[in-house]
Structure 1
Amino acid sequence: MAVIGAAGWLAGIAAHQVGGGAVGIPLVLAVAAVAMVRRGAARVARVLTACALVAAGVVTSTLLRSEVVTHGPLRALAEDGAVAELTGTVVSDPVEVDGQWGPQVVVRMRVTRLTARGASYRLGGVVVVLGDPAWSAAALGSEVRTSGRLVVADDGGAAALVVAPRPPVRIRGPDVWWRGAATVRESIGAAVAESPVAERELVPALVVGDDAGLPDGLEQDFRTTGLTHLTAVSGTNLTLVVGFLLLLARGLGVRGRWLTVVGLLGIVGFVLLARTEPSVVRAAAMGTVGLLALGTDGRRRGLRALGVAVTVLLLVSPALAVSAGFALSVLATAGIVVVGPGVHAALCRWLPAPVAAAVAVPFAAQLACTPVIAGLSGEVSVVAVLANLLVAPVVGPATVLGLAGGLAGLLSGTLGRLLGALAGVCVSWIVRVAENAADLPVPAVAWGSGALSIGVLAVLCAVVAVTAPRLLRSRRVGVVLGVGSLLVLLGVPGRIAVLPGGWLPGGWPPSGWVLAVCDVGQGDALAVSVGARAAIVVDAGPDPALVDRCLDRLGVRQVPLVVLTHFHADHVDGLAGVLRGREVGTVEASSMLDPAAGFAEVEEVAGGNGLTVTAAPYGLTRRYGDVTVQVVWPDLPQPVAGPGDGSAANDASVVLLVESHGLRLLLTGDIEPAGQARLAADLPDLDVDVLKVPHHGSAYQDTVWLESLDPEVAVVSVGEDNDYGHPHPGLLDALASSGAEVARTDEDGDLAVVPGDDGPAVVTSD
């Protein structure tokens, strides 16, 4: 069954990627089955035949659903912007969002009848309704009627988007099971209503996956520490809830087949509580597999059940084949079923069984998911296993107490609040672990997301899965590994190269950095953070390998803007390293095209990557995330060739004024005194927090102007033992005397500026 499920999964991926071309997969499998029959390998032939049938079913289902969505009446009317009257069933809870003109509500509706342009249709397609706050009353499971304009939806699973709809007219209310589930959900919320905000929102997330109210900071901490699965509906939720019901039923004397009935009712009740979204159905299937794996011969039964679950889910909802959540859920379950028992047995030789299980389950699940997580995020969490281990003892009690509080609250509000308070105490520990682990020096490390990087990581994880049971049998080895993990978490000084394009740094980069100055020798290469794994790069240094390595260590995968301040080699020769393996938006440079050889090289490298070099637009202010960037120099109306020998390049350097997280940064390239004087006249009384010292700290400066900027931090990008005498001691003394903290790459390595309560601070990599 595991092989059959894998064949269906592969066919589903192919159907989404190449469409009708995917029919070749079941055909190839069928031909292989016939060949096995002729060779007398009947068992292999049966497996291949089953694989061919499942693959054909998944491909057919995928293609038919795609045809309905892309060529049905709803899509045709949406492409014409038609106004339609729709009748259908609400299939999602209303979610309030901030719209351009005020709050709006998003609801998904399965349309059963549609009237537009004088024609009526009976359908089964899903639309997304974007309505006013009146749609908050559209309860899940209710049948409603509305009218509005149809437009094409960005959501691939929806046939159309309904905009400016009329308030819903209720035809029929939700069925009794939906009303009962809604009542229990409300009771769970009421049971923890008096708890602190983090605990109040986390308990419903643990029980039924309702994470809409989680604070943004806590949600980010959960992502960093590998605890996100706790805030979403997962197989763990179902295993805990249904497992609790089975234990309770057994305690009340229920035996035999009646226990199976209790389990099935618990699964159905869980799905109703958490809603019948594809992610919930997936979680229910994986949780059921987990319950089967708890019995005798758990590995064999669990793997067989996993194959059945994957096969059924893909036939029912083929879109899951390309869902990251589905991949993570399947892999986590497979890890627990396949790797978990061996690790658990090894640890039981020197640890109590409950402690061994608390270590083995998160270890196996995290190990199996690591390659996919790295492919999605470009990072490998260092603290995930430890964080999951620390919270494991309270996840079960918190989930069960939260559900019990909701159920008890239906009978007694006081009892419900008491149980809810106990659940809040349990989740407060989870909150503390997430916050503290996210603040560790190395909560996660950058890892390349290319095929080579992920392939190597997958091989490493497989090696760990095979060797871990043997290594962990020894108490001594287990203690050494534990101590070693703690040393990594606490940030052992130094850097360890793990793969080209991936580095494990000692606390680098620091959390919340806004500017990084790369140590690229005698040259400039800076990065301005504009989001997760995204940065504006200013200059590229003299060596592609050095700037590429620096950006990898910073975890930068997207570069919306590259600015080359001028065309000297120590600022542009590393451009190929910036473009290597990254998504780059625009390359801009000085309007002074001098020296000509440098400009030609930049055009060649950029053109080879499908990019065009344009002039940095003087005076224009742009926003990237929370960061604003303005070009304040040079004031050249059009590109100028210059003398060709590079003598005019420095004073025409692009100067950027950047504002990020309350800090003002001035990035000056190699601008010289004449240009500095013009800039001082254009921007009188300019005050900045961070100054990138011009021209690597050359003595040729307008020192009075630099001091007048009153920077709190001055960073110098300069090569060790260079032949130019950079940086000049007199300039550094002047900056220090004016109150600036001076940091330099030749002595400190890579530099990072981080905001603080008392202004900017510099963190060094050395």
Structure 2
Amino acid sequence: MSPRAHLVPAALAVWAAALAGLLWAWWWAVVIGLAAGVIGVLVLRFTAGATARPVLRSARPAAVAIAVAGPVAACWIGVQLHTSAHHPLRTAAERGGPTTLRFELDDRPHGLRTSGFGSRQGGVDLVRAQATLEDGGRLVVLAPAATWRTLLPGQSVLARGSLAPARPGEPTVALLRVRGPPREVTPAPVWQRAAEALRSGLRDAGGALDPEPAGLLPALVVGDTSRLSPRVVEEFRTAGLAHLLAVSGANLAILCGAVLLLLRLLPVGPRGRAAGAMVALVGFVVLAGPEPSVLRAAVMGAVALLALVLGRERSALPALAASVVVLVLHDPGLAVDLGFGLSVVATAALVLLAPSWAARLRDRGVPAGLAEALAVPAAAHLATAPLIAGFAGEVSLVAVPANLLVAPVVAPVTVLGVVAAGLAQVHEGSARLVVELAGPAASWLVAVGRHAAAVPGSAVAWPQGLAGGAALAGAVAVVAVLLRLRRVRVLLAAVVVGLAVVLAPVGVFAPRWPVSGWAVVACDVGQGDAVVLATAERGRAVLVDTGPDPVPVLACLRRLGVRQVSLVVLSHLHADHIGGLAAVLAERGVGAVAVGPSREPEWAWEEVREQARAAGVRVVELGVGQRLSWPGLELDVLGPRVVPRGDENTAVNDASLVLRASTPAGRVLLTGDVELAGQAGLLDAPVDLRADVLKVPHHGSRYSSPAFLAAVRPKVALVSVGAGNRYGHPSGVLLDTLARQGALVLRTDRDGDTAVLPGPDGPRIARRGDPIDN
């Protein structure tokens, strides 16, 4: 065994012990740790003596390491997980109920972005934080963002809330849901206050840029995503750039590398340069906040720096393995932490794969700088793809070129961001000037992520979970082995070229989606509504509601090739129907925004007016009896027909605009979230409700009357609903009623984007995942 790999089996044993103890039961950590120790002892005995072959004797150092690390992991990790599993608060959490606890925050509260539903405005309204109880148990806290988001690690607080069981696979003993503000808050440590001052200065200086690059800069530098657009987050994930939004070893390697480069220009010896790099590393830890995730990144950054900046690849792998052993023993929860796994695997790829790949490219005549620029993102993406696929359920096909395009600007924008954070403490104007210098690079990153995510087929679906990640890892390993065989390598190259020649034109010139002749598409936007109505003018459509978030509705319009939206109709002003409006106004040419008579909730009405005003688009009100016409499409306004009554949410729902669309595929009834009173008003009115297609009211809630459904008598019922929603939508009773009436029921949570087309015997259905000839 190579001397560089002697500690690798020990690191894998420690990691496996913690992983099994967390995912199965605490005693599995003991079993696997002791089993690893026994294996190490057996290898030592088998390789003892002068008669052992040299190749076997070379495994003895690794056997010694695993013989020591295995039992240590069994005892140390086993005790921690046993204590967590038998903590008295865990039993209390199973029963639930209110409690008052004192704890100390371990990390900064991180915002949880919600889509909004009903009258609730979407956005960051909750924070999640890790905390340590006075008796040493670990706790997850969910609390209101307004009063908790400014707290810092190291602060001790008293809070009253309700207990709930912790998620499986975490070393925490309970989840505490807090409704009120923290009480008896102690001061934060001085270094935490200094770190927050630096981060705040960077956020304030970012005001010199446009909103998207301004929100991206703190995320790139210190992992602060509080002002980052959810659209940018989604695009970076699809493009394989999400690693840039979290503090990682790369941040530290970039900063320390910049310091080393600067010191090499000065008369400073090797020890002085090393000391300067260490000062930069410690300073960055202070800037980002000395939390567990940052400390983990500091260790990984030091390893990457050792390998890539100092050129000591031989010492990097043992240092990485030793870091894994120490970190997992210190915090077993890292064994199931995606960020930790990505850090370790990416660093290993940079140490083991990237140098040899770059050398092979140089041997083939590729310039040195370009060879490294190609090898580094390719190695990192290939190594981390199984983890990302298992977690996100998709594989990015544009990650390598996207990372190659952003690689030249990541280091400069990171260094400039750190400089701006420091300058902001002494002179805000200078900090804003440095931020403006970083602005073009930050804008380039946003543009690359946006265009890469917009490439057709930029990401392909893959099975989630451990099985999916293992399957992709196995596929990558098989391909890597096959590529070592020259004949197979030539054959694989021919297959790839053949697929590109055959499938690329098919994907470009005869795409599976959208299907030709679509008239109506119910977009899969999660727990919300967004329905696109085609006009006879190519690239133009009418959009009814915009869903809860900007990314899904924009993605749906992009897939359909809709460039101009003649009219955006907001059936009512609940968050799950207007959440994507600002993005549609910004990204598509919009003729006007139409609303109904209701102006509630007030915050939503003000938001719609402000967004339309900012985009220079008129807001118009539609009334019963109006007819709107475009080539190939007519809309008749049928409702609302009642004076809204009841609680606030029900009143707003019953005030929904009800539209009848006349399309080449037949009549389509669009009902917003109209409930029983609103449906009764429509039944009492002298209006023909019959339709070929029904957009089922209120995401398929139970508040739809059989009489209303019988009056519509749809052949196709479209339910726009989010997977696994907590409202119980769609109602089983409703689905049974529609089925008895002979309607074909389609749900966006299961069928995805669903199109309605004209057919010889009525409307025809096509789903995004259907074969091309559907």
Secondary structure, in 3 states, of the residue corresponding to 1:65?
A: helix
Residue 187 of structure 1 pairs with residue 216 of structure 2: no
Partner AA of 1:234 in structure 2: S
Question: Hey, what's the Cα distance between the residues in 2 that align with 1:468 and 1:165?
Answer: 57
| Contact 1:398–1:426, Cα closer than 8 Å, also in 2 | yes
| Contact 1:629–1:658, Cα closer than 8 Å, also in 2 | no
Question: Which residue matches 2:213?
Answer: 199
Structure 1 residue 353: Cα displacement: 2.0
Secondary structure, in 3 states, of the residue corresponding to 1:87?
A: strand
Structure 1 residue 144: Cα displacement: 3.2
Residue 428 of structure 1 pairs with residue 488 of structure 2: no
Question: Hey, what's the Cα distance between the residues in 2 that align with 1:450 and 1:162?
Answer: 27
Change (3 A) 1:445 1:76: closer
Residue 24 of structure 1 pairs with residue 31 of structure 2: yes
| Contact 2:35–2:70, Cα closer than 8 Å, also in 1 | no
Residue 272 of structure 1 pairs with residue 321 of structure 2: no
Residue 337 of structure 1 pairs with residue 337 of structure 2: no
Question: Which residue matches 1:47?
Answer: 62
Question: Hey, what's the Cα distance between the residues in 2 that align with 1:489 and 1:298?
Answer: 43
Question: Hey, what's the Cα distance between the residues in 2 that align with 1:490 and 1:620?
Answer: 39
List aligned pairs for 1:117-136, cutoff 5 A: 122-128=135-141, 130-131=143-144, 133-136=146-149
Structure 1 residue 372: Cα displacement: 2.6
| Contact 2:526–2:720, Cα closer than 8 Å, also in 1 | no
Secondary structure, in 3 states, of the residue corresponding to 1:657?
A: strand
Partner AA of 1:359 in structure 2: L
Secondary structure, in 3 states, of the residue corresponding to 1:88?
A: strand
Which protein, 1 or 2, shows the higher relative CO under an 8 Å CA cutoff with sep ≥ 6? 2
Partner AA of 2:314 in structure 1: R
Question: Which residue matches 2:10?
Answer: 4
Gaps of 5+ in 1: 114-121, 496-504, 518-525, 533-553, 555-618, 638-652, 662-668, 680-688, 707-713, 717-750, 755-761
Structure 1 residue 181: Cα displacement: 0.9
Question: Hey, what's the Cα distance between the residues in 2 that align with 1:486 and 1:279?
Answer: 45
Structure 1 residue 301: Cα displacement: 1.9
Secondary structure, in 3 states, of the residue corresponding to 1:192?
A: helix
| Contact 2:110–2:129, Cα closer than 8 Å, also in 1 | no
Structure 1 residue 190: Cα displacement: 1.8
Question: Hey, what's the Cα distance between the residues in 2 that align with 1:232 and 1:266?
Answer: 19
Change (3 A) 1:257 1:444: same
Question: Hey, what's the Cα distance between the residues in 2 that align with 1:413 and 1:53?
Answer: 54
Structure 1 residue 182: Cα displacement: 0.8
Question: Hey, what's the Cα distance between the residues in 2 that align with 1:88 and 1:657?
Answer: 51
| Contact 2:37–2:69, Cα closer than 8 Å, also in 1 | no
Question: Which residue matches 1:492?
Answer: 504
| Contact 1:191–1:413, Cα closer than 8 Å, also in 2 | yes
Structure 1 residue 763: Cα displacement: 11
- Indicate which of 712, 718, 728 corresponds to 1:658: 718
Question: Hey, what's the Cα distance between the residues in 2 that align with 1:370 and 1:439?
Answer: 20
Question: Hey, what's the Cα distance between the residues in 2 that align with 1:357 and 1:692?
Answer: 51
Partner AA of 1:34 in structure 2: V
Question: Which residue matches 2:764?
Answer: 715
Instruction: Output the aligned Cα RMSD.
Output: 4.8
Question: Which residue matches 2:619?
Answer: none
Secondary structure, in 3 states, of the residue corresponding to 1:380?
A: strand
Structure 1 residue 211: Cα displacement: 1.6
| Contact 2:515–2:772, Cα closer than 8 Å, also in 1 | no
Secondary structure, in 3 states, of the residue corresponding to 1:348?
A: helix
Change (3 A) 1:513 1:414: farther
Structure 1 residue 388: Cα displacement: 0.5
Q: For structure 1, which segment, 7-16 or 260-269, has the greater mean C-alpha deviation from structure 2 after superposition?
A: 260-269
- Indicate which of 321, 332, 335 corresponds to 1:318: 332
Question: Hey, what's the Cα distance between the residues in 1 that align with 2:514 and 2:287?
Answer: 38
Q: For structure 1, which segment, 336-345 or 198-207, has the greater mean C-alpha deviation from structure 2 after superposition?
A: 336-345
Change (3 A) 1:487 1:442: farther
User: Normalising to structure 2: TM-score of the pair?
Assistant: 0.61
| Contact 2:29–2:78, Cα closer than 8 Å, also in 1 | no
Residue 14 of structure 1 pairs with residue 20 of structure 2: yes
Structure 1 residue 124: Cα displacement: 4.9
Question: Hey, what's the Cα distance between the residues in 1 that align with 2:503 and 2:771?
Answer: 14
Question: Which residue matches 2:246?
Answer: 232
Question: Which residue matches 2:237?
Answer: 223
Question: Hey, what's the Cα distance between the residues in 1 that align with 2:509 and 2:343?
Answer: 32
List aligned pairs for 1:384-463, cutoff 5 A: 384-448=399-463, 457-462=472-477
Partner AA of 1:39 in structure 2: F
- Indicate which of 121, 128, 138 corresponds to 2:151: 138
> Could you give the per-residue CA deviations for residues 290-333 of structure 1, whole angstroms, max 9, x where no partner exists?
11112566332222222112111211111222223322222211
Question: Hey, what's the Cα distance between the residues in 1 that align with 2:142 and 2:356?
Answer: 49
Change (3 A) 1:295 1:137: closer
Secondary structure, in 3 states, of the residue corresponding to 1:55?
A: helix
Change (3 A) 1:124 1:628: closer
Secondary structure, in 3 states, of the residue corresponding to 1:493?
A: helix
Partner AA of 1:126 in structure 2: L
Question: Which residue matches 2:664?
Answer: none
Structure 1 residue 352: Cα displacement: 2.7
Question: Hey, what's the Cα distance between the residues in 2 that align with 1:125 and 1:211?
Answer: 25
Structure 1 residue 660: Cα displacement: 4.7
List aligned pairs for 1:452-531, cutoff 5 A: 457-462=472-477, 492-494=504-506, 510=513, 529=524
Question: Which residue matches 1:686?
Answer: none
Change (3 A) 1:382 1:151: closer
Change (3 A) 1:107 1:373: closer
Identity of aligned residues (%): 34
Question: Which residue matches 1:262?
Answer: 276
Residue 38 of structure 1 pairs with residue 45 of structure 2: yes
Secondary structure, in 3 states, of the residue corresponding to 1:658?
A: strand
| Contact 2:39–2:67, Cα closer than 8 Å, also in 1 | no
Question: Which residue matches 1:106?
Answer: 127
Structure 1 residue 390: Cα displacement: 0.7
Partner AA of 1:369 in structure 2: T
User: Normalising to structure 1: TM-score of the pair?
Assistant: 0.62
